[in-house]
Chains A and B, each alone.
Chain A
Amino acid sequence: MNRRVLTNRILSHLALLPFIIFAVFPFYHMALTSLKQNRELYDRNAVPLLIVQGPTLEHYTKLLWETEFLNWTKNSLMVTVLATVISLVIGTVAAYALARLKFFAVGSLGTGIFVTYLVPTSLLFLPLAQVVNWLGLGDSKWALVVTYPTFLVPFCTWLLMGYFRTVPKEVEECAMVDGATRIQALWRIVLPIAVPGLVCAALFAFTLSWNEFIYALTFTSSSEQITASVGVTTELIRGDIYYWGSLMAGAVLASVPIVILYVFFLDYYVSGLTAGAIK
């Protein structure tokens, strides 16, 4: 490597540094706060960037044993897994039909699903709260299982349509000439080829429903029904008193499932994120 290339490379890294600090620092500070003793946390003369007086797990133990945090996390998991599975199934068959089959109004249906993909949840939460009540699901986590697919299905459908289009038609036709029905061809030929797309859709659906906030905040309120992000942001704050240590511990712990997925499937996240805009 000659000198000019090396200098350029070092300069690129240096220029990236502020961006990386900006992106990562809030998480560092969050984790740090969750491990600090209250004495140091609320000392205005202490350096906030480090732990000087030794770390503690008291905020975590308090969170786990003295609040409903585990219960909220269980709710989050249940809602997220169910909503993801439902949306993936509905999205897969819809995407296959829209990408591959010729039938009445297929084009406008595709456009319609794309449009619902753009409708922000904050436009619909008020009337949807009424619908949820009519369905008898007021203040129930099942309301979330039912409503999360409204934004997950358009996303999965849109993403998977792109993947199904990349599977050559001939592969499927060969199977059908050999006597397979269309559904068999879909199940045995097309879906196995589209596995990366399915993984990507599942990851995004999981992430989007785990991170959902406005519906969860609006449709559920009692401590037995709420999800982790709602629990941490509402129940841990009593009046005007913020228990910052436990709040940060809750934010860290409730992010753990997503971070684990993220570390293992980073490349899928990158490709899924760009697929929404590029395809």
Chain B
Amino acid sequence: MAIGSVGVVTASARPSLRARLSELLDRESWLGPIFVSPALVLLLLLVAYPFFMALYFSVSNAFIGRPSNFIGIRNFVRLWESDAFRQTFQNAFVFCGAAVGAKVVLGISLALLLNQQLWFKRMIRGAVLLPWVIPTALSTLGWSWMFNSLYSVVNWTLLAIGIIDPPGPNWLGQKYYAMAAVIIVNIWRGLPFFAITLLAGLVAIPKELYEAAEADGAGPIARFWYVTLPLLKGVLGIVVLFSTIFTFSEFNIIYVLTHGGPMNSTHLFATLARQVGLETGRIGEGAAISLYLFPALMIVVWAQLRFVRKQAY
């Protein structure tokens, strides 16, 4: 491989340190591990290690600034006895189910529309993708002003169109409305990812298939059902898996919009974990709450590796 270094070896009996080093670096079995080690050290130290700490915290009575003892599964038992946690558990599934479901339907519709012949293609794409690039905490602040109890522009518009009667709902102060509000903002923020990724999947479908289907007398609905959807399945699966884990672990929108309220009706695992673990100091219990994200993560990872990335390795 390294032809240049042969000359160095014969020229002197003991090759210089530099030459030996550069020869080692030319060997894949050396260079590979050297190149991977910074990433590996970082991830072991700041991802794997904290993860095991979380496991330990969850079975201990850790409290901020106090030594901790092993207490078994008592944290988990106590969580199941608390109404706040049971409410959160239910919220997580309602929030995730509604938001991901809506993003699938709206995402496919939007991708199909973006795939049409359009005049301002680039500009439209830019507008559609915008919610995804702006810092979520800040754009959610904009939404919380839009849902304000006194000056809500949402209510003003709905009143003006005549859909609701005055005074209109207090979006962030009423249980079901608050849940609807955080779901709407999550859809708003996640839709671009669905639309743009599914659009890439649509573009990859060969035109000939549609022409063939049309020649066989398939109408637009039949073409969507028998050509588009089956060929989009792979991309759709990946997008749904990604979105599920990130929706399930949502923090920013809830924290800024409702802080989990009113009466815990919008708490998700991440926000409740923060409240219990940091604001009240019970780290052990907080860690136990965030670990509820772990089964969801495992399922997504397993599905990704099993069905989606089979071909990669």
Contacts and interface: CB of A to CB of B under 8 A. Distances in A.
A126 B4 contact: no
A89 B132 CA distance: 25
Interface stretch (A55-63, A191-199, A254-262): A254-262
A244 B3 contact: no
B249 interface: yes
A182 B156 CA distance: 65
Given A94-B39, A182-B26, A9 B145 contact: no
Interface stretch (B47-55, B72-80, B175-183): B47-55
B270 interface: yes
Interface string A119-154: 111111111111100000000000000110110011
Interface in B20-36: 22, 25-26, 28-33, 35-36
B42 A122 contact: no
A221 B25 CA distance: 44
Given A29-B146, A277-B239, A111 B133 contact: no
B200 interface: yes
Interface residues on B, range: 35 or more
Is chain A's binding surface mostly helix, strand, loop or mixed? helix
B153 interface: yes
Contacts of B22: 181
Interface of B: 1-4, 22, 25-26, 28-33, 35-36, 38-40, 42-43, 45-47, 49-51, 53-54, 57, 106, 110, 113-114, 116-119, 122, 124-139, 141-143, 145-146, 148, 150-151, 153, 156-157, 188, 191-193, 196-197, 199-201, 204, 235, 238-239, 242, 245-246, 248-252, 255-256, 269-270, 273-274, 277-278, 283, 286-287, 290-291, 293-294, 297, 300-301, 304-305, 309, 312-313
Listed from nearest, the 5 A-B pairs whose CB atoms lie closest are: A103-B32, A122-B270, A120-B249, A97-B35, A127-B53
22 contacts: A12-B113, A20-B127, A26-B146, A27-B134, A93-B36, A101-B32, A116-B47, A119-B47, A120-B297, A126-B277, A126-B287, A127-B50, A130-B283, A150-B43, A176-B1, A181-B22, A181-B25, A217-B255, A270-B196, A277-B235, A277-B239, A278-B200
